[in-house]
Amino acid sequence: KTIIRKVNKEHPEADIICQAGDILKKGGLVAFPTETVYGLGANALDEEAAMKTYAAKGRPSDNPLIVHIADMKDLPKIVTEIPEAAKKVAEKYWPGPLTMIFQKSDLVPHGTTGGLDTVAVRMPDHPIARDLILAGGGYISAPSANTSGRPSPTTAQHVEEDLTGKIDMIVDGGPVDIGVESSILDVTVDPPMILRPGAITKEMFEGVVGTVAVDHTLIKPDSKEVPKAPGMKYRHYAPKAQLTVVEGDTDAVVNYINERTAEHVANGMRAGIIATAETMEQYQAGDVKCIGTRADERTIAAGLFGVLREFDSDGVHVIYSEAFQEEGIGSAIMNRLLKAAGHQVIHV
Query: Given the rule CB under 5 A, which residues bind Mg ion?
Result: 144
Q: Does 113 bind ligand TXA (CB under 6 A)?
A: yes
Q: Does 98 bind ligand TXA (CB under 6 A)?
A: no
96: partner contacted, choices ligand TXA, Mg ion, none (Cβ within 5-8 A by kind): none
Q: Does 316 bind ligand TXA (CB under 6 A)?
A: no
Measured distance CA(123)–CA(141) in Å, rounded: 11
Q: Does 116 bind ligand TXA (CB under 6 A)?
A: yes
Q: Is the Cα dihedral 315, 39, 57, 102 positive or negative?
A: positive
63: partner contacted, choices Mg ion, ligand TXA, none (Cβ within 5-8 A by kind): ligand TXA
Q: Indicate the residue among 257 and 329 with the shorter CB distance to Mg ion.
A: 329
Q: Report, in Å, the least distance between residue 77 CB and ligand TXA.
A: 17
Q: Does 66 bind ligand TXA (CB under 6 A)?
A: yes
Contacts of ligand TXA in 151-190 (CB under 6 A): 181-182, 184
Q: Which of 29, 30, 37, 45 binds ligand TXA (CB under 6 A)?
A: 37
Q: Does 335 bind ligand TXA (CB under 6 A)?
A: no
The window from 29-37, 248-256, 264-272, 332-340 that contacts ligand TXA (CB under 6 A) reads 29-37
Buried b or exposed e, range 258-270, using 16+ CB within 10 angstroms? bebbeebeeeeeb
The window from 8-16, 32-40, 75-83, 336-344 that contacts ligand TXA (CB under 6 A) reads 32-40
What's the Cα-to-Cα distance from 300 to each of 10, 119, 126, 154, 285, rounded to whole Å?
24, 30, 21, 13, 22
Q: Report, in Å, the least distance between residue 273 CB and ligand TXA.
A: 27
Measured distance CA(113)–CA(66) in Å, rounded: 8
Q: Which of 17, 159, 229, 273 binds ligand TXA (CB under 6 A)?
A: 229
DSSP string, 105-139: PTTS-TTTTTT-SEEEEE----HHHHHHHHHTTS-
Q: Where are the alpha helices (DSSP H) in the chain?
A: 14-25, 47-57, 75-78, 84-93, 127-135, 156-163, 202-209, 216-219, 250-266, 297-314, 329-340
Q: Does 230 bind ligand TXA (CB under 6 A)?
A: yes
Q: Is the Cα dihedral 226, 45, 57, 130 positive or negative?
A: negative
Q: Indicate the residue among 103 and 242 with the shorter CB distance to ligand TXA.
A: 103
Half-sphere exposure of residue 129, counting CA atoms within 13 Å on the CB side? 27
Footprint of ligand TXA on this chain (CB under 6 A)?
34, 36-37, 39, 63-66, 99, 101, 113, 116, 118-120, 122, 142-144, 181-182, 184, 195, 228-232
